[in-house]
Structure 1
Amino acid sequence: MFRAVALFLVFSLAYAKHEIYDGHQIFKVSVKTHDHVLLLKDLEQDFGLDIWSEATLDHPGMIMVSGTRSKMFQDLMADEGIQAELEVENVKALLDLEDKLFGNASSKNFTSSRASALALPLNKVYRYEEIDTYLEELARAYPNVVTLVNAGKSFEGRDMKYLKISTTNFQDTSKPVVYMESLLHAREWITQSATLYAIQKLIIDVTEQDLLQNIDWIIVPIANPDGFEFTHTHQRLWRKNRAVGYMVGDLCVGVDLNRNFDAFWSEASSNIVCSDTFHGRAPFSEPETAIIRNIVDEHKDRLELFLDIHSFGSMILYGYGNGVLPANGLNLHLVAVRMAQEIDAVKMSWNNNYIVGNVALVLYDASGAAMDYAKVSGVPLAYTFELPGHRFGFGTGAGFFVDPDFIEQAGFETWEGIKAGARSALASYRTKHNAK
């Protein structure tokens, strides 16, 4: 009886926190001209649009609109000749369904490919404290391979921890370093599966020894801990960090961490605090991005592959965000294609094949990105992954929502791509190292 009451209270609280999204709708928006693209950017602030993915001439975008402005938005789209197709009638209902799915998953006996009781079951999204405890347990259980680093504090004072995985304690300079992070954008919960699965395959269930013996790894599971926790406690679809002090009275808070790096900073982002792409007061104004910068700078002599895991869209993107290709653009593309092909070979049939290309050409101009900072710092291979954004049964409008049944699959298929990228990085690093 007590357990039933407890579950009822949990679900009641979960449903209550989603009231802010009651009546919000999601539209698939198709544009025909560049003026349409510019109009949608202008409307982002005027209508309070939450642009989940930008509409381009090549593919539609996904936009969330509040219920009070939905009719006005649809009328304006019709007047401008822009197709706006309703995908989700009420976002709160979808959030309630997500909670229900996670509740059902937690009550089931979960069977997975785990090789050890220490591996986390990939049927849920783990909170900050759970991940923090997990990283500490791994460091204690595997001291010869794992080093836990506390790199500093987030804006709200949470420890920013990451794993260094190495058989030689990062002392063998003949080995390249591969860096990967997830949850730089708080609401992109599915990305956690990629880093947790990689941790499992590199530490607990090692079936491909070359990846562990020949490469040193840095893995940051939660790159935006404050924002991530806020998506659990207040607003599920929050994107930024939780920095305050940018506006009198803190009416709007937070910085888009993936616009805060010192790579073309502020050129294609927003200086409006309330915007989801607000770039902050200066490059690395946020402690979270400063910590990532420090990691890159510390290891850039050996850092061969940088992976920033996002969702959604089934894409592997490379820089630069202004549309200019790096000098090794061809190799960047070829390695990305190799990674995408490995994912496509094992992905679920209902998800699209991965798209590969320059972020500005495939999506939109974007400045201050983590990927671009890694590239301008000298990392040869730097990418943004966009994991699949929908599942069978949810439909294309469910971009950031997570089906527990898909979490382990998302980790598995992404790992197949990461392996291909890591081996390409190893080959190119050895070529350079042997040439010296």
Structure 2
Amino acid sequence: MKYLLVFCLFVAGVLAKHEIYDGHAVYQVDVTSMDQVKLVHDFENDLMLDVWSDAIPGRPGKVLVPKFKREIFENFLKQSGVQYKLEVENIKEQLELEDQLLAAAAAKSNSSRSRLSFDTIHNYEAVDAYLQELAKEFPNVVTVVEGGKSFEGRSIKYLRISTTNFQDASKPVVMMQSLLHSREWVTLPATLYAIQKLVIDVTESDLINNIDWIILPVANPDGYVHTFNGGRLWSKNRATGYMIANFCVGVDLNSNFDVNWGTASSSNVCSDIFHGRSAFSEPETCVIRDIIAEHRNRMSLFLDIHSFGSMILYGYGNGVLPSNALLLHLLGVQMAQAIDRVKWSTNKDYIVGNSFHVLNSASGIASDYAMQAAAPFSYTYELPANRNNSSWLLEGFLVDPHFIEQAGFETWEGIKLGARAAAAAAKELKKVSAV
């Protein structure tokens, strides 16, 4: 009865929460040539649509279109000879379904003092408290660090996980983060699962004995909080002051890093890929920059966890390959294979490649900056949209509770393989340098 009451109260409170998305539709767009790719991409940008995934030949894209732009969008595609399919008539209904599924899971949650459950998505406050609690419970391994404050003044906390308190300069450093794009909720279980396997349920001690870890679960606190308060599909931070009367707010944090900044993003603050007034104009990206700078001499691997698409991508976003591109690709393939071995059979295999050639041009992204500044192995993970035999109701960024633990478990298989390989490569490089 208690669970039923909690569930009913939650559902009653969220019925009107998603009104801003009423009538928004999700389209699948199929292109057959690079000319169509550019045509569709430019039109989507001009219409300031929410592109969930870019369409390229052989792989359809997804785009969210507001109700009042749907006719314009459909007419353009018809006139341009581009094939499309209406996948979701009204995304608001799916948002309400997600709320109901997660509320039911939360009502039955078995979260305990020293861990967060993997049957629901936890809010910023719960994660923040969890990090501090871990540091108290495991003081010989875990240190919680406040890297700075977000635009709205929230703490940006990360964990340093180390058996030597980061004092052993011979140990490589692995850094990973999630929720740089705030709506990508399924990325949080990946960092929380890694924390669990490194601190609470330690079954592979070499990962903690031989490597120092930095894990930042909520890289965009303000945006993440906003996604719980009616802006579920919000991806940027919540910075104001870019336009008169703050008509549009927020910067795409994954376009705000100082690597090819501003070359493949938008100067329009209303765009989802608005890059800000300058590189590192946002406090959230400055925190990440400073962490990377502090550990640049030891950082062997950087992972920025995103969704969706089942991809492991490496730089650079302008198509220029780094000098170690072959090694990057080989390790990416190995990580992908590790995930594919344990993924749900109904999910597609991971794609590995340079982000420009797999997706599209991009600039100012975190993993490119980390590679340029510190980490010889740096990747963007794009986790799958949740899919299994019974869960085809939720699209794109929306999360079915049944996939949450699986997302953490399968991603961890790739992470730990990558960490070991990157750490070994870093040690070999030191030996060569010492000769």
Per the normalisation by structure 1, the TM-score is 0.96
What is the aligned partner in structure 2 of residue 419 from structure 1?
A: 416
Correspondent of 1:213 among 188, 209, 220: 209
Which structure 2 segments of 5+ residues have no match?
Answer: none
> Could you tell me how far apart the structure 1 residues matched to 2:367 and 2:226 are?
25
- Secondary structure in 2 matching 1:16: coil
Which whole-Å deviations, capped at 9, do the CAs of 1:345-393 have from their partners, x for residues lacking one? Answer: 0000110000000000000000000000011113100000000013124
* C-alpha displacement of 1:194: 0.3
Q: Does 1:433 align with 2:430?
A: yes
- Secondary structure in 2 matching 1:17: coil
RMSD over aligned Cα atoms: 1.7
> Could you tell me how far apart the structure 2 residues matched to 1:48 and 1:74 are?
15
> Could you tell me how far apart the structure 2 residues matched to 1:395 and 1:48 are?
28
- Secondary structure in 2 matching 1:52: strand
Cα 1:219–1:3 shift into 2, 3 Å? closer
What is the aligned partner in structure 1 of residue 116 from structure 2?
A: 120
Which structure 1 segments of 5+ residues have no match?
Answer: none
| Higher mean C-alpha deviation, range 277-286 or range 383-392 | 383-392
Q: What's the % identity of the aligned pairs?
A: 57
Opposite residue 275 of structure 2, the aligned amino acid is: H
Q: Does 1:85 align with 2:57?
A: no
What is the aligned partner in structure 1 of residue 348 from structure 2?
A: 352
Aligned length: 432
Cα 1:74–1:390 shift into 2, 3 Å? farther
* C-alpha displacement of 1:234: 2.0
Q: Confirm or deny: 8 A CA contact 1:166 1:216 kept in the other structure.
A: yes
> Could you tell me how far apart the structure 2 residues matched to 1:432 and 1:47 are?
49
Map 1:6-405; keep pairs closer than 5 Å.
Answer: 7-108=7-108, 118-392=114-388, 393-395=390-392, 398-405=395-402
Cα 1:408–1:2 shift into 2, 3 Å? closer
* C-alpha displacement of 1:394: 4.4
> Could you tell me how far apart the structure 2 residues matched to 1:50 and 1:23 are?
14
> Could you tell me how far apart the structure 1 residues matched to 2:430 and 2:41 are?
46
Opposite residue 409 of structure 1, the aligned amino acid is: Q
* C-alpha displacement of 1:40: 2.2
Q: Confirm or deny: 8 A CA contact 2:94 2:394 kept in the other structure.
A: no
- Secondary structure in 1 matching 2:102: helix
Opposite residue 60 of structure 1, the aligned amino acid is: P
Q: Confirm or deny: 8 A CA contact 2:23 2:91 kept in the other structure.
A: yes
Opposite residue 378 of structure 1, the aligned amino acid is: A
Opposite residue 167 of structure 1, the aligned amino acid is: T
* C-alpha displacement of 1:70: 1.7
> Could you tell me how far apart the structure 2 residues matched to 1:7 and 1:320 are?
46
> Could you tell me how far apart the structure 1 residues matched to 2:295 and 2:62 are?
37
Q: Confirm or deny: 8 A CA contact 1:28 1:397 kept in the other structure.
A: no
Per the normalisation by structure 2, the TM-score is 0.96
| Higher mean C-alpha deviation, range 56-65 or range 405-414 | 56-65
> Could you tell me how far apart the structure 1 residues matched to 2:244 and 2:322 are?
40
